[in-house]
Amino acid sequence: MSQLKRIIVVAGARPNFMKIARLVERLKKNRGFECLLVHTGQHYDFVMSEVFFQELRIPKPDVFLNVGSGSHAEQTAKIMTTFEAVLLDEKPDLVVVAGDVNSTLACSLTAAKLHIKVAHIESGLRSFDRTMPEEINRIVTDALSDIYFVSEQSGVENLIREGAAKKSIHLVGSVMIDPVVRMAKAIDRSRILRRLDLKPQNYAVLTLHRPSNVDSAEMLAEIYEILSAVSERIRLVYPIHPRTSDRMQTHDLLNQFTELKDLQMIEPLGYLDFVKLVKDSRFVLTDSGSIQEETTYLHIPCLTMRDNTERPSTVEMGTNKLVGRDKKVITKAVDCILTGKWRPGRVPRYWDGKTTERILDVLANP
């Protein structure tokens, strides 16, 4: 591949920011590259976006597309039309996208149509569940990418099966682990436990925002039953995603959740506070993607409220177990954790904080 000098790195939604933080910093300091950071504005609140730029010392975006929320088609289309203008102006050699959010799909599609090369960080992951918007984003992005940065072995196998060229696939490990390692001291200095009046190991962390868990009143009712049973056993701390509080309000259920005595609902947290909260927790109950990786690295038990995962290594090697929305399975797993019977798990290859360095090596010698 010819030299990749002018690089646009894209970030749009919360889980993108930690993935590109170090990469942008390193590319901007390296004279061999000209790097522009484009923020699509998919996430725009202080707590969903700005706080990560501050804490992870991400340079101010060079371009802000300001697309905001909307239906999937609306959001994707807005990102595409605004990003196309940026590409036509800047004429980069490469666009780097990360993860599986709508910004990832929209920007890779726009670049590919203009014959600009695309590198995808966290490529090859598959849940094999096309009802998840993220799965569609992953499949389309990988079909259009030229360089694949893969976090775990399953990703390599998926890409090969789908016909990707072997020489374009680079198993570099999980970028999610890089800031956990790099910011370890700042994470340990977080005062979040004191602020929330918590003692290490005396609480569990909850995150829930997937459409498949929170979008209907029936699902939320099932979730309520589960949280009610779990919070009888241990205090649950829940930094609530705006989508979920929206849905609870729409279905007139917010008060019911608020009244659960040992469910502590709080605003979304910044990066340092959130990782500290997870690090000192007894376990995590979640439907997130990336948190499955962070908990495996930190050896914290993780119960994932989904029927599938695109990150099978966290189940096969790590601390993760898929529990769906099955109250029996969940309470049994919680009892097992609370009686100290959970496995500590092993950490997959290259989840060591040096993934960004491996990505840079590939970009410097394409």
The residues annotated as belonging to the active site are 209
Residues paired with 27 in a beta bridge: none
Are 249 and 179 spatial neighbours (Cβ–Cβ below 8 Å)?
Answer: no
What separation in angstroms does the CA of 318 have from each of 19, 55, 161, 288?
20, 28, 24, 15
Are 304 and 321 spatial neighbours (Cβ–Cβ below 8 Å)?
Answer: yes
Indicate whether 111 belongs to the interface with ligand UD1 (CB under 6 A).
Answer: no
Shortest distance, position 211 Cβ to ligand UD1, whole Å: 7
Indicate whether 266 belongs to the interface with ligand UD1 (CB under 6 A).
Answer: no
Compare residues 280 and 310 and give the one whose CB is closer to ligand UD1: 310
d(CA 347, CA 298): 9
Compare residues 30 and 250 and give the one whose CB is closer to ligand UD1: 250
Indicate whether 67 belongs to the interface with ligand UD1 (CB under 6 A).
Answer: no
Q: Which stretch binds ligand UD1 (CB under 6 A): 2-10, 95-103, 336-344, 352-360?
A: 95-103
Indicate whether 133 belongs to the interface with ligand UD1 (CB under 6 A).
Answer: yes
Q: Which residues contact 18 (CB under 8 A, 6 or more apart)?
A: 52, 56, 175, 176, 178, 179, 271, 290
Shortest distance, position 224 Cβ to ligand UD1, whole Å: 20
Among 8, 10, 15, 269, binds ligand UD1 (CB under 6 A): 15
List the structure tokens of 337.
């954790």
Sign of CA dihedral 270, 272, 275, 279: negative
d(CA 100, CA 108): 11
Compare residues 24 and 67 and give the one whose CB is closer to ligand UD1: 67
Return the residue matching tokens 């998840």. 132
Among 134, 146, 178, 310, binds ligand UD1 (CB under 6 A): 134
Shortest distance, position 196 Cβ to ligand UD1, whole Å: 21
∠ CA 222-127-41 to the nearest 5 degrees?
A: 85
Compare residues 107 and 337 and give the one whose CB is closer to ligand UD1: 107
Return the residue matching tokens 């990360």. 98
Q: Which stretch binds ligand UD1 (CB under 6 A): 7-15, 123-131, 165-173, 320-328?
A: 7-15
Report the site for ligand UD1 in 18-47 (rule: CB under 6 A). 42-45
Shortest distance, position 12 Cβ to ligand UD1, whole Å: 8
Q: Which stretch binds ligand UD1 (CB under 6 A): 10-18, 194-202, 321-329, 331-339?
A: 10-18
Encode burial over 116-140: b for 16+ CB neighbours within 10 A, e otherwise: bbbbbbbbbbbbeeeebbbbebbbb
Compare residues 14 and 78 and give the one whose CB is closer to ligand UD1: 14
Among 63, 101, 144, 227, binds ligand UD1 (CB under 6 A): 101
Q: Which amino acid does the sequence have at 258?
A: T
Q: Which amino acid does the sequence have at 283?
A: F
Report the site for ligand UD1 in 209-228 (rule: CB under 6 A). 209
d(CA 164, CA 69): 33
Shortest distance, position 334 Cβ to ligand UD1, whole Å: 24
The candidate with the shortest Cα–Cα distance to 43, out of 74, 24, 65, 21, is 65
Residues paired with 7 in a beta bridge: 35, 94
Shortest distance, position 132 Cβ to ligand UD1, whole Å: 8
* Contact residues: ligand UD1, CB under 6 A: 13-15, 42-45, 48-49, 69, 100-102, 133-134, 209, 241-243, 246
